[in-house]
């Protein structure tokens, strides 16, 4: 009986550690996502300014990409 209780306590301790690790990882990912969203918003704003100044550029399917 004591062995079963000890095994359950060990399992609970491992699960608590895993939950804490996952929580830390989630927090890190949320911070990274917020940073990426801010960067994307800045890029979008820059693109809107460029389009407003230069106007939309026509797309020609016959044009080769610059790496050709």
Tell me whether residue 59 is in a domain: no
63 in a structural domain: no
Q: Which domain holds residue 20?
A: 1-54
Distances (CA, A) of 16 to 5, 6, 7, 54, 67: 16, 15, 14, 57, 52
Q: How many domains does the chain have?
A: 1
Query: Is 68 part of any domain?
Result: no
Residue found under tokens 């960067």: 39
Does this model's pTM top 0.85? My answer is no
Looking up tokens 């800045």, which residue turns up? 42
Q: What is the pLDDT of residue 68?
A: 59
**Which segments of the chain have a pLDDT < 50?**
none
The pLDDT of residue 61 is 73
Q: Which of 48, 25, 22 is nearest to 33 (CA)?
A: 25
């Amino acid at each position: 009986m004591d062995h079963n209780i000890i095994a359950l306590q060990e399992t609970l301790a491992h699960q608590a550690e895993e939950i804490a690790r996952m929580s830390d990882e989630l927090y890190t990912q949320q911070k990274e996502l917020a940073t990426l969203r801010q960067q994307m918003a800045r890029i979008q704003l820059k693109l809107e300014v460029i389009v407003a100044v230069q106007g939309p550029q026509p797309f020609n399917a016959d044009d080769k990409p610059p790496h050709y």
